[in-house]
């Protein structure tokens, strides 16, 4: 079989106007989701993009498909943030950076946050990205522990915990979202430090996939 050309198949072979419209729809969707939340009617997105609803549905057969595609970019961004964190010679600093950046991404995009909280289209693409993210994260955590910076009883599910917590904060805090998110991250990162160790209750069994349960 031919090497699968990235995960954006339906771009090639489209007529010029169709491709243009497809881009406008995606841009409009991202804007709408970010500002109005993930529940904006499809019609509103179409209007914002300057196309008819039928055009939108021709490219994205269902609402979920559009949501998925619209957030693929953000998801990719998350992964690259993680890569940067892994590249940092100081694993603790790398870990902190990842957490802070992702939290701020959530704070800046209401739709992205909601997508985390509510059930989400579990497309195949996402599963792949997610498992990559899980591996990278586990590696970063292991390194940070070995460096003696991250507490020993920390575990990967605690990252999910933090992300969910941040979802709540960013959904609820309105315009203060970014400030609140920063403060939450600071508090939690502080509690995660090894030198802050004090007994913890047993961990929740939260994988990254649990997020969309």
Partner DNA sequence: GGGTAAACGGACGCCCCTCTCCGTTTGAGC
Partner DNA sequence: GCTCAAACGGAGAGGGGCGTCCGTTTACCC
Binding site for a copy of itself (CB under 8 A): 116-117, 158, 161, 164-169, 171-174, 176, 179-180, 182-184, 186-188, 190-192, 196, 198, 200-206, 210-211, 213
Which residue of 12, 15, 202, 205 would you call a contact of DNA, by CB under 7 A?
A: 15
Q: Which of 149, 117, 131, 143 is nearest to 213 (CA)?
A: 117
| Cβ 23 to DNA shortest distance, Å | 10
Token duo for residue 59: 């490219």
Task: Select the binding partner of residue 18 from DNA, a copy of itself, none (C-beta < 5 to 8 A, by kind).
Answer: DNA
Report if residue 35 touches DNA, rule: CB under 7 A: no
129 binds, among a copy of itself, DNA, none (CB under 5 to 8 A by kind): none
**Block residue for tokens 């941040």:** 166
Contacted by 161, from a copy of itself, DNA, none: CB < 5 to 8 Å by type: a copy of itself
List binders of DNA among 40-99 (CB under 7 A): 41-43, 50-55, 57-59, 61-64
Distance CA 201, CA 34 (A): 36
- What whole-number distance in Å separates Cα of residue 202 and Cα of residue 40? 39
CA–CA distance, 198 with 187 (Å, rounded to integer): 15
CB-wise, 83 or 176, nearer to a copy of itself? 176
- Residues 114 and 157 sit within 8 Å (Cβ to Cβ): no
- Give the bridge partners for 150, in sequence order: 193
Element (H, E) at 158: helix 157-172
> What residue ranges bind DNA (CB under 7 A)?
14-18, 20-21, 39, 41-43, 50-55, 57-59, 61-64
């Amino acid at each position: 079989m031919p090497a699968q050309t990235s995960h954006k198949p339906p771009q090639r072979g489209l007529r010029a106007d169709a491709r243009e419209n497809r881009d406008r729809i995606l841009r409009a969707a991202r804007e709408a989701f970010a500002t109005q939340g993930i529940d904006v009617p499809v019609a509103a997105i179409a209007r914002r993009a300057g196309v008819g609803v039928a055009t939108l549905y021709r490219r994205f057969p269902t609402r979920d498909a559009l949501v998925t595609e619209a957030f693929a970019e953000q998801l990719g961004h998350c992964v690259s943030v993680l890569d940067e964190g892994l590249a940092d010679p100081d694993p603790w600093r790398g870990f902190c950076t990842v957490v802070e950046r992702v939290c701020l991404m959530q704070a800046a995009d209401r739709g992205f946050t909601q997508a985390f909280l509510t059930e989400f289209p579990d497309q195949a693409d996402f599963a792949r990205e997610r498992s990559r993210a899980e591996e990278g994260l586990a590696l970063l955590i292991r390194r940070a522990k070995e460096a003696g910076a991250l507490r020993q009883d920390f575990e990967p599910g605690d990252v999910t915990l933090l992300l969910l917590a941040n979802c709540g904060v960013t959904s609820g805090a309105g315009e203060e979202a970014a400030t609140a998110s920063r403060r939450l991250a600071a508090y939690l990162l502080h509690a995660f430090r090894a030198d802050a160790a004090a007994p913890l209750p047993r961990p929740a069994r939260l994988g990254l996939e649990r997020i969309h349960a």
